[in-house]
Chain A
Amino acid sequence: MAETPGSGSFPWRMAWRDGRSSAWRLSFFLVSIALGVAALVAIGCFDHNLRTAVDDQARSLLGADLRVRARRAFDPETEEFLAREFDSESLEEARRVSFSSMAVFPKQDGTRLVRVRAVEGDYPFYGDVETIPPEAASTYHHGRFALVDDSLLHQFSAEVGDTVRIGTYDYKIAGRLVQVPGESATRALFGPRIYVPRGEIDPQLLVTGSRVTHEVFYRGDVSDDKRQQRLEVHCNRFDLEWDTVEDAQRRLGRSAEDLGSFLGLVGFVAVLLGGLGIGSAIHVLAMRKVPMAAVLRCLGAPSQQVLLVFLIQAAALGLLGAVLGTLLGISVQELVPWALKDFLRVELPRETSWQAVFTGVGLGLFVTMLFVLLPLVSLRRVPPMAVLRSVERSSWTRKDPLRWGLVVLLALASVGFAMLQTGSWSTGSSFAGGVAGALVVLALVARLLMVGVRRLLPETWPYVVRQSFANLHRPGNQTTLLLLCIGLGTFLLLSVDLTRGSVLQTLDVSSNAEQPNLVLFDVQDDQVEGVREEVTRQGGPLLDSVPIVNMRIARVNGKTTEELRNQEEDGPPTWSLIREYRSTYRGELSEGEELIAGSWVSRWDDEDAVVPVSFEERQAERLDVTLGDTVLFDVQGVPLLTKIASIREVDWRQARPNFFVVFPEGVLEEAPKFHVLLTRAESTEASAQLQRAVVDRFPNVSAVDIKMVLNVLEEVLQRLSFAVRFMALFTILVGVAVLAGAILSSRFQRMQESVLLRVLGASRTQVLRMVTLEYLCLGILGSLAGGLLAVAGSWSLSYFLFRTEFRPDLTSLAVAMGLAVLLTTVVGGLSSWGITRRSPLGVLRSEGE
């Protein structure tokens, strides 16, 4: 026999020659992988920049090198400790007091609950407070001036130079507050900020009961380990918190990691969908290339060379897609921080991460190869006899161990990829499992559809309808892939909306006539009657008046909180031990509470005995206490021993104060306390008028309009869902590209059928009707399957995460599903455009191309 055939360069030349004419057919899949890689690169660059920013701007997150914080004024021991440890020339000190209060804009006649921050000293030491005009950030210290959140000024159409009243003090607005280092824009939505000088606060606002945070900041070298150990001991003893730049950096680093994980998953789905698309395109291509593989085998090409020809084409396609995607990703990387700007606490640098670029190119190529290998490997087993007669495809595809090996590799690689994107084994594998589950459900729907149509299609239906439905199960169809794209797209779009809508609908109590919608708090004992009068005068019903006593836990079952905090594992969370408990007393359970264990004690008059109290179910679990356990409370300096007599389940969605601990009547009446009064205003104007009247007379009393809180919550959720949807857009764009590509890849087959039908007498209208009806059917089923998946997903989120009743917004469900149907039909129609206009001869001559 002559020398060994098989030139090394033959597969490359063959790949190029063959690819020239078929490349355009794969262009949409090139777009799909490119979009997936673009998402990866843009997200990777964002993640890199966020981490860089967290590292570089760590100091400005805290604004200082060290912060010590207390929920009440620093006690003399702490002041003495701070003076002893930190009073040195090398350290600079600043202080800040923060509390919520009502702000009144007299000129505009408006009131709003705000977060007041009163600063003394040059805080923040690091990072700049951004104001308009810029100099206001430093000049407001010199008198009774205020910096007011931009959004608040917009709300009341107030201007720099106007007056804002807090308590009984009037402040001239020195500037608009645009950006404060370490605080996100969304935070301002919950409590718009007003900065005033520390020495210019109305002392009435700092009365007992008000939630006031006191902070002291230091700039300089605070890295002395021994001093930090002493600080730790002191803070534990006096229930203070302290943190350094490293702590702030670690906290934000964790948030950045979480955000990175979420975005990584978006990239994962986009690339996975792109991979599915390209895999499916290659599957169609591989079926068309069987005759070519047979001829090459017949002419003497070894099987590996035949495979190599197509692998080179696929790799070139993957590489080109990855490179194009990388370029696109670099050019759109600005969009990710733009979409997420409301949630960022740091200023992001604008750098291209080469790691993200290489990861994008590498993963794009890897995913492409992984998905194309499965359909391509069977080409190496095409029998040369296929040049002489048709050979059943299953004869060379079945019993191929390589195919099964690839399926396992594909599954492992998907999990590995998800883990790489999230940085967590459990998140990565469960997400990959979830996506696989959704894909399996959609694939099953597709399978059911095909089997159902084949078996159940009535023969009495008109020919056009029968033919379009029969198209769904034709050999080499794209029904499964199309349903995957439509279903996944609908699912991604809808689940965010449904969850947001469900949460908002559950919370929307403002329209319920029996529910309070205005809460007045910080009402002192001697103000209760006056506030009641004022409420009644303004026409509001007094729906409830709740006394609140602040206390802290001193011991649980004899153990001090410090001992419990030092327990090795499974101890109660620290916050549950050191937090201030705002407890109430009353004789009966309130609406929304249910006794689930023990017995309710209405009144207790035995001063010397242990007081029976009722604990909220989940807080009891956190503290690891149950019926009969004792808890010693420190009620503002007075020890009070209690015993858990009952456990309650509390519906926290109720728009009224809910409590972890409820005392019986007869115990806390004489303790220092404040009150919360609940009323209802029938309109926004009535609510504003009532708030103004109360604040005018009692400046320390604050009011929360629940309707406004809900509006704020809705806005935050809207911004969040915009950000999520924006990121999901990458995936949806990939889905549309795959959709169009899948339709285009079967275009030639459709064209041939259209020609044959026209030759046999079908009109263009009939052919177009068939195409439209087919995509309409696919759109309806895909959106239904995606919609149902979204309902299931949102229900799970509502039930397990938010623990709310699931109330899907049927309108947005119907609109989104309708849009999916419309999009599918339009994309289908556009991609099939012209198939009825080609001349039959042209199509017949290009057969086999």
Chain B
Amino acid sequence: MPSPILRVENLTRGYPSGGGELVVLQGVSFELEEGSTCAIVGPSGSGKTTLLGLCAGLDRPSSGSVELVGHSLAGMEEDALAQLRNTLVGFVFQSFRLLPTLTALENTMVPLELRGEHDAKSKAQELLGRVGLAERQGHYPAQLSGGEQQRVALARAFIHEPRILFADEPTGNLDDDTSQSLLELLFSLNREAGTTLVMVTHDMDLARRCDRLLRLGAGHIVADETSSAESQGA
């Protein structure tokens, strides 16, 4: 049996609040296999985004551990975590998080340029073509629609061929039609690259397209379901 790409054990995260501590995540544990897709769902304030941030090494837990692609994140320096993200992790955010002063092409190139790779431009152009923005690569984010911005974000997320992709409400700011085409693109790119996908969403239809569904409530996993798609061998 292959080793899990993501292993979370007894994860707890609290924040100081009014002299005490507000615990937003408590004792969460799960494992995820490489190449799988997983949706994290739950009501607002249930700890979804906190869990995503902890899994991706963006934040540090109060207790518990995260092991990502065989690396234990506990005790890693900030810059080592950054290095890990740059090589193994991709991100897609609800509010796109493109750099406003960079063009679509430049935004897409950032992860490869950080590594000092020389063919960043051609790869970025190819990916932008793949997401249907070949003609818009010189445009700045403010000159693109929301759907176009999220497609640039997708290109940026896949350009360095990450082993695992974290997506935080990737369609949360988009209309239905745009959301659908974007999701097709996301799942298609994911399948082609064999990337593991971890996605936070409120959209249950979208969640059900994933192999696995973690349901959070008040900081705990209240349900861990395998989707029907998987059970049907899709």
Do B99 and A295 touch across chains, with their CB atoms under 8 A apart? yes
Tell me if B87 and A849 are in contact (CB < 8 A): no
Q: Would you call B116 an interface residue if the criterion is a C-beta within 8 Å of the partner chain's C-beta atoms?
A: yes
Q: State which residues 381-418 of A face B: CB under 8 Å.
A: 383-385, 387-389
Residues of B within 8 A of A10 (CB): 113-114, 116
Q: Are A1 and B101 in contact (CB under 8 A)?
A: no
Are the C-beta atoms of B102 and A17 separated by less than 8 Å? yes
B83, CB-defined interface residue at 8 Å = yes
Q: Is B93 an interface residue (CB 8 A)?
A: yes
The answer to whether A475 has its CB under 8 Å from any CB of chain B is no
Stretch at the interface among A300-308, A463-471, A520-528, A727-735: A300-308
Residues of chain A with a CB closer than 8 A to B79's CB: 302-304
- Least distance between A107 CB and chain B CB atoms (Å): 78
Q: Evaluate contact between A298 and B58: CB separation under 8 angstroms.
A: yes
The interface residues of chain A lying within 8 Å CB-to-CB of B82 are 5, 297, 300-303, 384
Q: Are B113 and A7 in contact (CB under 8 A)?
A: yes
Taking the closest CB of chain A, its distance from the CB of B70, in whole angstroms, is 9
Tell me if A18 counts as interface (CB < 8 A to partner B).
yes
| Cα(A47)–Cα(B110), bound, Å | 50
Q: Is the Cβ of A299 less than 8 Å from the Cβ of B111?
A: yes
> How many whole Å from A396's CB to the nearest CB in chain B?
11
Q: Is A539 an interface position by the 8 A CB rule?
A: no
* Residues of chain A with a CB closer than 8 A to B93's CB: 387-388
> Which residues 188-223 of B have a CB within 8 angstroms of A?
none
Is B86 in contact with A299, judged by CB distance below 8 angstroms?
yes
B86 pairs with A5, CB closer than 8 A: yes
* Cβ of B129 under 8 Å from chain A: no
Q: Is B85 an interface residue (CB 8 A)?
A: yes
Task: Output the least CB separation between A220 and chain B (Å).
Answer: 74
Q: Mark A1-34, 1 if CB is under 8 A from B, else 0.
A: 1111111111001100110111000000000000
Cβ of A848 within 8 Å of any chain B Cβ, yes or no, is yes
The answer for the CA separation of A211 and B115 in the assembled complex, in Å, is 86
Q: Does A504 have its Cβ within 8 Å of any Cβ on chain B?
A: no
Q: Given the known A-B contacts A6-B116, A300-B82, are A388 and B168 also in contact in the complex, defined by CB atoms under 8 Å?
A: yes
A300–B87 touching, CB < 8 Å: yes
Contacts of B138 in A (CB 8 A): none
Asked whether B58 lies within 8 Å of A384 as measured between CB atoms, the reply is: yes
In the bound complex, do residue A383 and residue B116 qualify as a contact, i.e. CB atoms below 8 Å apart?
no
Whether A17 and B58, one on each chain, are in contact in the complex, defined by CB atoms closer than 8 angstroms, is no
Q: A7 to B116, Cβ gap below 8 A? A: yes
Is there contact, CB below 8 Å, between B99 and A18?
yes
Tell me if B148 is interfacial: C-beta within 8 Å of chain A: no
Q: Quick check: is A291 within 8 A (CB to CB) of the other chain?
A: yes
Q: Which of B148-162 contact A (CB under 8 A)?
A: 156
Taking the complex as formed, is B174 at the interface, i.e. its CB lies under 8 A from any CB of chain A? Answer: no
B58, B89, B103, B156: most-surrounded residue (chain A CB, <10 A): B58
B130 at interface by CB-CB < 8 Å = no
Determine if B53 and A385 form an interchain contact, defined as CB atoms under 8 angstroms apart.
Answer: yes
Q: Does A765 contact B (CB under 8 A)?
A: no
A845 interface contact, C-beta 8 A: yes
B88: Cβ under 8 A from any A Cβ: yes
Q: Which residues of A contact B71 (CB under 8 A)?
A: 1
Quick one: which of A274-314 are within 8 Å of B by CB?
Answer: 291-292, 295-305
The residues in B between 88 and 111 inclusive whose CB is less than 8 angstroms from any CB of A are 88-89, 91, 93, 97-103, 106, 110-111
- A300 — which chain B residues lie within 8 A by C-beta? 82-87, 89, 111, 114
* Chain B residues in 8 Å Cβ range of A297: 82
Task: Choose among B58, B84, B100 the residue that contacts A1 (Cβ–Cβ < 8 A).
Answer: B84
CB-CB under 8 A from B81, the residues of chain A are: 384
Given contacts A303-B78, A384-B58, contact A8 B85 (CB under 8 A): no
* Residues of chain A lying within 8 A (CB to CB) of residue B78: 303
CA gap between A543 and B18 in the complex, in Å:
84
Render A807-849 as a binary contact track against B, CB cut-off 8 A, 1 for contact: 0000000000000000000000000000000000000011011
Q: Find chain B residues with CB under 8 A from A302 CB.
A: 79, 82-83
B49 within 8 A of A: yes
Binary A-proximity of B51-63 (CB < 8 A = 1, otherwise 0): 0110001110000
B22 at the binding interface (Cβ < 8 Å)? no
- Do A301 and B102 touch across chains, with their CB atoms under 8 A apart? no
CB distance from B136 to the nearest CB of A (A): 16
Q: B142 contacts the other chain (Cβ, under 8 Å)?
A: yes
Distance in Å: Cβ of B158 to nearest Cβ of chain A? 13
Nearest-CB distance from B196 to chain A (Å)? 16
Chain A residues whose CB sits within 8 angstroms of the CB of B156 once the complex forms: 299
Residue ID in chain A nearest B116 by CB atoms: A7
CA distance A556 to B220 in the complex (A): 99
| Complex interface residues of chain A between 245 and 265 (CB less than 8 A to chain B) | none
Cβ B52 vs Cβ A301 within 8 A: no
Looking at A2, A298, A848, which has the most chain B CB atoms within 10 Å of its CB?
A298
Chain A residues whose CB sits within 8 angstroms of the CB of B115 once the complex forms? 3, 5-7
Closest to A6 in B: B114
CB nearest to A13 among chain B residues: B113
A644 to B102, CA, bound (A): 87
Closest to A842 in B: B142
Query: Closest Cβ of chain A: how far from B96's Cβ, in Å?
Result: 10
Interface residues of B in 102-152 (CB under 8 A from A): 102-103, 106, 110-111, 113-117, 140-142
In the complex, residue of chain B having the shortest beta-carbon distance to the beta carbon of A302 = B79
> Contact between B114 and A385 (Cβ–Cβ < 8 Å)?
no
Q: Which of A9, A20, A299, A303 contacts B116 (CB 8 A)?
A: A9
Q: Chain B: which residue is nearest A7 at the CB level? A: B116
B140 partner residues in chain A, CB cutoff 8 A = 21
Q: Are B87 and A298 in contact (CB under 8 A)?
A: no
Note all chain B residues with C-beta closer than 8 A to A303.
78-79, 82
When chains A and B are docked, how far (Å) is the Cα of A21 from the Cα of B98?
15
Q: Name, among B59, B88, B106, the residue most crowded by chain A CB atoms within 10 Å (CB to CB).
A: B59
Complex: how many Å from CA A848 to CA B101? 9
Most buried by B among A302, A303, A389: A302
A-chain residues with CB within 8 Å of residue B113 when the two chains form the complex:
7, 10, 13-14
Q: How far is the CB of B183 from chain A (nearest CB, A)?
A: 20
Complex contact A22–B101 (CB within 8 A): yes
Q: Are B87 and A387 in contact (CB under 8 A)?
A: no
CB contact list, B16-54 vs A, under 8 A: 49, 52-53
- Contact status B142-A845, CB under 8 Å: yes
Q: Are A17 and B116 in contact (CB under 8 A)?
A: no
Query: What is the CA–CA distance of A1 and B98 in the complex, to the nearest angstrom?
Result: 26
CB neighbours (8 Å) of A2 from chain B are 87-88
Give the residues in chain A near B102, CB-CB below 8 Å: 17-18
B103 neighbours in A (Cβ, 8 Å) = 17
- Interchain CA distance A387-B82 in the complex, whole Å: 14
C-alpha spacing A164/B78, complex, angstroms: 90
Q: Taking the nearest CB of chain A, how far is it from the CB of B77, in angstroms?
A: 10
Q: Which residues of A contact B52 (CB under 8 A)?
A: 388
Q: When chains A and B are docked, how far (Å) is the Cα of A302 from the Cα of B79?
A: 5
Interface string of A422-442 (1 = CB under 8 A from B): 000000000000000000000
Set B88, B97, B114: member contacting A301, Cβ < 8 A:
B114
A541 CA / B81 CA spacing, docked (Å): 97
CB distance from B226 to the nearest CB of A (A): 27
- In the complex, which residues 352-391 of chain A have their Cβ closer than 8 Å to any Cβ of chain B? 383-385, 387-389
Which listed residue (A3, A17, A383) contacts B101, Cβ 8 A? A17
B142 touches A849 (CB 8 A): yes
Give the residue name and chain of the B residue nearest to A18 (CB): B101
Q: List 24 A-B contacts (CB under 8 A).
A: A1-B69, A1-B84, A1-B88, A2-B88, A5-B87, A7-B113, A9-B116, A14-B113, A21-B140, A22-B101, A292-B99, A295-B97, A295-B99, A299-B85, A300-B84, A300-B114, A301-B82, A301-B86, A302-B83, A383-B59, A385-B53, A385-B58, A845-B142, A848-B100
Binding site for A on B (CB under 8 A): 49, 52-53, 57-59, 69, 71, 78-79, 81-89, 91, 93, 97-103, 106, 110-111, 113-117, 140-142, 156, 168
User: Which 6 pairs of residues, A with B, have the shortest CB-CB distance?
Assistant: A300-B86, A7-B116, A2-B87, A5-B86, A385-B59, A302-B79
Q: A299-B85, A302-B79 are in contact. List 5 more A-B contacts (CB 8 A).
A: A2-B88, A21-B101, A299-B156, A300-B82, A388-B168
